Amino acid sequence: MSLITLTGIGKSFKVAKRSAGFKEAVKALFAREHTIVEALRDISFTVREGEIVGYIGPNGAGKSTTIKIMCGVLVPDAGACSIMGFTPWKDRVRYVRHIGVVFGQRSQLWWDVPVIDSFELLRDIYAIPPRIYRKNLDLLAEMLDLADILRTPVRQLSLGQRMRCEIAASLLHDPAILFLDEPTIGLDAESKIAVRNFIKSINRERGVTVILTTHDIHDIEALADRILMIGKGTLLYDGSMSDLRGRYGTRKTITVDYKRDARPVDIPGAECLSLSVNRAVYTFDSDRINITDLINRLSAGGELADVEIGSPPVDELILKLYKEHRV
């Protein structure tokens, strides 16, 4: 039984357009041109309880729109969505009790009062019983290292501190599902790792289902068992990270360092990417070329100092997917 089911979700926006210049601006006062932008087209997927799903895609692909539909904020034009038995936009008030949301680019904390005041207002809004509130607050403060910043006004927090508070704020009411829209945007390496570790442990220890969008591929690699990729409003890939690697990851790169000046060796099936004084880089398909064979042939070019074989980074896999689907 799946927790989240989306079937054939579609959503389009009307966007006003005009060219630059004063004349055009005056013209737009009387007759405005609109184009219909199809943000989402026939999106269907399901998510099981306890999963962490990474939702990726280029800018403007429709990630945030999908998240907002699943949170009950936007109403789709077509399709059906059932989350824990609710239709988000129809049963919004009853439904949102069970979810936590972080929009990385916005803030849910009151700007000029200490963080704890915002938390207490959220406690009132969600009518969280005092005992549970206390327990969750202590737990979150410890896990996210908030003890020192709870009494600081939000405007004086660094971005990393604020994001930790935002995530804590979205979990005070024990949600079953956590939606994170770019939770690591703009964070430094240390804060990113803290946020990732926290998401992992909240998923493991409390069984919270997590759906996150991100542009940081390391987030996905560290967190998501499963990725959904969307481009130009359509779902392009739904599967595990290792499947994606299996599909595109047979292409490897080999970097060879020679002890003396290298001579380029032409190897059928491998492509020479770069060649400098002591170093040569090739790419090849590991399904078609035997690695031992390859190294033997390379050593014909001179005495080898070092050989390094690498898989392409996930970024490149993603770019390949984009290219394959022309997004």
Partner 1 sequence: MNAPLSILKMRLLRGMQYRASAAAGMVTQFFFGLIIIMVYIAFYEHSGAAQPMTLKEVTAYVWLTQMFYAFVAYWMYDGELFAQITSGNIAYELCRPWRIYPVWYAKLLAMRLSIAALRSLPIMAVVFLLPEPYRFALPASPGAFLLFIAALFSGLLLVAAISMFVYISVFWTMSPVGSLIVATVTGEFFAGVILPVPFMPGWLQEIVYLLPFRWTADFPFRVYTGHIGAQDALAGIGIQMIWLAALVSAGQWLMGRALRRVVVQGG
Q: In whole angstroms, how close is the CB of 283 to partner 1 at the nearest point?
A: 36
Q: Cβ closer to partner 1: 25 or 125? A: 125
Residues that bind partner 1 (CB under 8 A): 13, 64, 68, 71-75, 89, 92-94, 96-97, 99, 101, 103, 105-108, 121, 124-127
In whole angstroms, give the CA distance from residue 171 to residue 32.
Answer: 44
- CB burial of 99-120 (b: ≥16 within 10 Å; e: otherwise) equals bbbbbbeebebeeeebbbbbbb
Q: Cβ closer to partner 1: 89 or 322? A: 89
In whole angstroms, give the CA distance from residue 241 to residue 86.
Answer: 30
Q: In whole angstroms, how close is the CB of 58 to partner 1 at the nearest point?
A: 13
What residues pair up with 37 in beta bridges, in sequence order?
13
Q: Cβ closer to partner 1: 90 or 259? A: 90
Q: Cβ closer to partner 1: 13 or 316? A: 13
Q: Cβ closer to partner 1: 64 or 317? A: 64
Q: In whole angstroms, how close is the CB of 155 to partner 1 at the nearest point?
A: 15
Q: Cβ closer to partner 1: 153 or 249? A: 153
Q: In whole angstroms, how close is the CB of 291 to partner 1 at the nearest point?
A: 45
Q: In whole angstroms, how close is the CB of 234 to partner 1 at the nearest point?
A: 19
268: number of Cβ within 10 Å: 7
Burial, 307: exposed, middle or buried (Cβ in 10 Å; 0-12, 13-18, 19+)? middle
Q: In whole angstroms, how close is the CB of 107 to partner 1 at the nearest point?
A: 8
CB 231 within 8 A of CB 327: yes
In whole angstroms, give the CA distance from residue 66 to residue 43.
Answer: 9
Q: Cβ closer to partner 1: 175 or 302? A: 175
- The DSSP code for 62 is S
Q: In whole angstroms, how close is the CB of 73 to partner 1 at the nearest point?
A: 4
Instruction: Give the HSE-up count for residue 68: Cα atoms under 13 Å, Cβ half-sphere.
Output: 14
In whole angstroms, give the CA distance from residue 261 to residue 241.
Answer: 40
Largest Cα separation within the chain, whole Å, is 76
Q: Write down the residue that tokens 């803290």 correspond to.
A: 194
CB 62 within 8 A of CB 79: no
Q: Cβ closer to partner 1: 125 or 147? A: 125
Q: In whole angstroms, how close is the CB of 300 to partner 1 at the nearest point?
A: 55
**Contact residues for 64 (Cβ-Cβ < 8 A; gap 6+):** 103, 181, 213
- For every residue of 154-188, DSSP letters joined together read GGGS-HHHHHHHHHHHTTTT--SEEEEESTTTT--
